[in-house]
Structure 1
Amino acid sequence: MKIRCGYDLSYYCPQAVAMQFLLSVHPTRERDLVTDQVMRTDPYLPSRVVLDHFGNRLTRIMVPPGEIKLSADFVIEDSGLPDVVDWDAQEVPIDRLPDDVLIYLMGSRYADTDLLGDIAWQLFGGTPRGWGRVQAIVDYVHNRLRFDYQLARNTRTASEGHQEQVGVCRDFAHLAVSLCRCMNIPARYCTGYLGDIGVPKVPDPMDWSAWFEVYLSGKWYTFDARHNRPRIGRIVMARGRDATDVAISTAFGPAILGRFDVITDEVDEQTVHRHSYSGQFPSSRMDGEQPMPVLSRG
């Protein structure tokens, strides 16, 4: 299948500020692009694209005072298959884990494992190891938290989400990641496009979505504690330890988020041939969460 993705964002900067964006699809999905994922800025600003420490494609821009608009509109090929389920996947002993996987056992800014370790072992110490244990964690988080984007808070940690029992998709992911790490199962946070494909349409305007991946039997598998079901059309943009590593935008100074529109939807072959992916498609929405404020430092 072919999926149309894109965004239309704006920020107001009262002074010149360096900004960075994780708005490109992950390099592992670039081979699936049908059209170029060109970031357009208005006014035009030079940018530099680099790979960050986690292998994500990072765009760096020096933004002058005033308003900046960023947009993209592209089509990507997808298998149309739901997330893989493998009940035979097993945990890998820590001494056999690849070196680059070890970091996903450690606590991080939002995955405060030191506050959740005792709870994790009480809840999941007796569950079957491997896929069954991860699924038990996903079931628990899915039932523990209530999704409410009106109560979104970009400083909420996993332990706070567990205590408050409410959150958005990033909170579901943070809690599940933390509980997996407490059980010595490597887990990493993911963000990307996830539209209403193969599920009932939801009319509310939303955001990019968050989920997580777990390392079992020598490979990474996708889990989604918010939806708790295999989904179709998941397009990963960035991976990291938690939301800090995959912030859609980071401003090293004041930047006020204005416009925030994200699109993702399946398109048929006739539509692909009829349009040039330059904003001519009808608008659609994301199945994710309420827009979060830009991460600002300064």
Structure 2
Amino acid sequence: MTDGETTSLSPQPRRRNPDVLRVRAGFEFEFELSYATPMLFVVEPRDRPGQRIVAQRRELSPDLPLAQTSSYMDAFGNVVWRVLAPPGRLRITHDLLADVPSRRDPVLSGLPGTPVERLPDELLQYLLPSRYVDSDLLTPEAWQRFGSVPAGWMQVQAICDHLHGTLRYGAGSTSATTASQAYQSGVAVCRDFAHLGVAYCRALNIPARYVCGYLPDVGVPQDGRPMDFHAWFEAWVDGAWRTFDARHNVPRAGRVLIATGRDASDTAFNTAFGNARLVHMRVWADEVDGDAVLPAQVPTPAQANHSTELAGTESREGEMHG
């Protein structure tokens, strides 16, 4: 989902409650596997404050025995599916309805920052560099560029303003691109905008975490680009996680949060411990009527655009033994 030239707005669905909007979202993945392969999927949103999962359905083809599928909650509170995928073709579909606030992301410009010595213990990990967030390399520039901005919301927003105005949205990064590499290239996708926002925050001693989810086109023009998963970030400001999106840099409504982590390695939609090739992927996310129920069938390809960014997958084939 991108900014750009547009011609039309999404029609406004009927809302039962003006404070709540209902989103239908989901995906379809298809893999080719040379042999039986353990796989992990971080793709299932869960109930959170301000987010209620009304209904959801998962389908696997071929249908797998219960012994080959399970789920657990990871250290970041994300739902993780475990699948032992058989050789051949595997198709996984997930379709859901979620109720989220109809208001746009709040803007709270007066919120102050929190000194490191007053942060809760569990937040300290979000101050450190991680696999794709090389905040240590960006620390000198961060303080030079943003050190004079009042700590708190204004400092984080200054980061978003800078990234949005400096980086050009477009293909070019890969699943191995770090925050500093994306900044040097000058070209970024939503994943890179989020990593850089997190990196600059951490460099300034602001806890920040990576977020992935769905972001439907609610109240904004559609530009015809394929629907995809989206990435943004949250910064700990004045005692709570606050939403920031350097990619769009305007408040949006309709976010459905799937997962959070230190960076994209903690929220990869798929991790394959073997040779699994993603051959097809499509994603959908749209506001629907407030009394809508989950249909028996997923949207047709004409209703759900094909995704073109596959950076949410990781392969661990090189780490296999035997």
TM category (shorter chain) comes to over 0.9
Query: Does residue 249 in structure 1 map to residue 242 in structure 2?
Result: no
The one-letter code matched in structure 1 to 2:101 is S
Instruction: Tell me whether 1:115 sits opposite 2:137 in the alignment.
Output: yes
Q: Provide the secondary structure at the position in 2 that maps to 1:197.
A: coil
Partner residue in 2 for 1:61: 83
Spell out the pairing of 1:64-83 with structure 2 (5 A cutoff).
Answer: 64-83=86-105
Aligned counterparts of 2:153 and 2:290: Cα–Cα separation in 1: 37
Unpaired stretches in structure 1, ≥5 consecutive residues: none
Q: How far 1:278 moved relative to its partner? A: 2.7
Q: Identity percentage over the alignment?
A: 41
Mapped pair 1:262 → 2:283: yes
* Residue number among 291, 295, 312 corresponding to 1:276 in the alignment: 295
Mapped pair 1:132 → 2:154: yes
Report what 1:17 is aligned to.
37
Q: 2:73 aligns with which of 32, 35, 51?
A: 51
Preserved contact between residue 18 and residue 62 of structure 1 (Cα < 8 Å): yes
1:294 is displaced (CA, Å) by: 2.6
Deviation at 1:202, TM superposition (A): 2.3
How far the C-alpha of 1:280 sits from its partner, in A, is 5.4
Aligned to 2:15: none
Counterpart for residue 313 of structure 2: 294
Counterpart contact for 1:74–1:277, Cα < 8 Å:
no
- Could you report, residue by residue, the CA deviation over 1:61-98 in whole angstroms, capped at 9, with x for unpaired residues? 11111110000222111221111111121111111111
TM-score between both structures, scaled by the size of structure 1: 0.93
Specify whether residues 83 and 257 from structure 1 end up closer, same or farther in structure 2 by C-alpha distance, changes over 3 A only: same
Deviations 1:170-215 (A, max 9, x none): 0001111100000000000000000111110121213200000000
1:158 to 155, 159, 179: 179
The answer (yes or no) to whether the contact 2:167–2:187 under 8 Å persists in 1 is yes
| Contact in 2 for aligned 1:195/1:285 (Cα 8 Å) | no
Q: Give runs of ≥4 in structure 1 deviating > 4 Å.
A: none
State the alpha-carbon separation in 2 of the partners of residues 179 and 30 from structure 1.
Answer: 27
- TM-aligned CA distance change 1:280 to 1:132, over 3 Å: closer
What amino acid is aligned across from residue 209 of structure 1 in structure 2? H
1:218-237 to 2 correspondence within 5 Å?
Answer: 218-237=239-258
* Equivalent residues of 1:142, 1:226 under 8 A apart: yes
- In structure 1, distance between residues paired with 2:126 and 2:308: 24
